[in-house]
Amino acid sequence: MIKIYFRQAWILMKQNRFYSFIYIVGTGLSISMVMVLAIVFYIRIADTYPETNRSRMLMVINAKLQTKDEWMYSSSLSMKTIETCFYPLEKAEAVCLVHKAQSNESFIQSSQNREQIPVELQCVDHNFWQVFTFRFLDGKPFTGEEVESGVKAVVITETLSRKIFGSVQTTGQYVSLNFESYRVSGVVRDVPFLSGHSFAHVWMPYSACPNLELWWNSGESITEALGNFVCYILAPSAADLDQVKKEALENIYRYDASMGEDVEFITSGQPDRHWENLCRLYGGWNVEIPKLLTIYGLFLFILLFIPAVSLTGLTDSQMETRIAEMGVRRSFGAPKEMLLMQVIIENFLYTLLGGLTGLLISYIIILSSSQWIFFVGNIFASKAPQDAAMFSLSSLISYRVFFIAFLICMIFNLMAAFIPAWRASRRKIVESLNTK
């Protein structure tokens, strides 16, 4: 029976090509807008290379010190703070620190090619390679012993390795970074720019970074709590995040108490989950997650509801032309439920074709506007380097995202079709037969 319904729906679609075109395009545009939003959020939130542990990661990006006389100091964390509050976490699987150099301040060259190439540089510890899962194409990361001894080693990306040496098999070679010699320890697959916590072209031990201040000190000992590092904490599983955060907050509380009554050390609720960190406003102090989720939810509802209302009017107009047909079928004994099922299956076919159209449109929009669409609403976002890939194409393929967007649109479209069909099926047979 279902097969017959689909065959009838297909025949009806070919007979009403203009209506079918408008309905499919309307559904496609509706789904494409939802898919664009879903893909943007998915790429920024989901576990993607090399940040495949986002779902079980916590982070502390910054902190501030409030003195009794209302002086305030704010910055990232110092080595002392990380060693006191976060390295000792017993329930964490790994804890790492990262210092990211300012853009356009680092340049690299090889002994064969004297061209100065601007690069993004991160100074990290050895646990960085455990928190973030890089794919090594050659060599290996530097070890804890190398970090402690300040060995001048670097890990570079595949593209940079090819640009400098013409190959990715470059372990053991030497490069000049800011006019100092470093040995290549390993080569990794390129990191998408939207992997903001791990993106760089070069990684080196923080102990070997030139001119790196381990903590900012303006002459007052209290400011030794602040510095240039951010901290990432990896929990054994997503279910352990609350326990790890609780232990971290207890350490922060004790650290704050050790500073005396005249100073307050504040992290504003950090460590954060990855998605919580994205919700923080510039400066990291204000976060209104329920408000933001409400706004996004309403925006998504409007994107779907307005096309659904338009499709309801379109379907209602189409049903007026089919009332006589429905009257004839009912006069020959067709039950109302069968007529409703026929309309629902027709709508399902329209929505399915519209969904595939919307999926195609959404990918076209994402690929053609990736340089700005991922930064809408974030005026402080840094601009991606011209040679940086925004994301890997494989990260766009998410059947779960498409299924959720398609399911939501299907519900709205079924409502848009069901209401006019239900009203038409409730008419008396005589009235339906007399309709012209």
For 320-378, write each residue's pLDDT tens digit.
666 666 666 666 666 666 767 777 777 778 777 877 888 788 888 877 776 666 665 55
- pLDDT score recorded for residue 307: 67
Cα dihedral 175, 181, 182, 183 in deg (nearest 10): 70
Which residue in the block uniquely carries the two structure tokens 């097969």?
A: 3
Q: What is the distance between the alpha carbons of residues 119 and 107, in angstroms, rounded to a whole number?
A: 6
Q: What is the distance between the alpha carbons of residues 65 and 271, in angstroms, rounded to a whole number?
A: 16
pLDDT digits (tens, 9 = 90+) for 265-324: 989 889 999 988 887 765 455 566 677 677 777 777 776 676 666 666 666 666 666 666
Which residue in the block uniquely carries the two structure tokens 């005249």?
A: 262
Q: Which of 277, 294, 146 lies closest to 207 in space, CA to CA? A: 146
pLDDT digits (tens, 9 = 90+) for 216-235: 444 445 568 888 899 999 99
Q: What is the pTM of this model?
A: 0.78
For the chain, percent of residues with pLDDT exceeding 90: 31
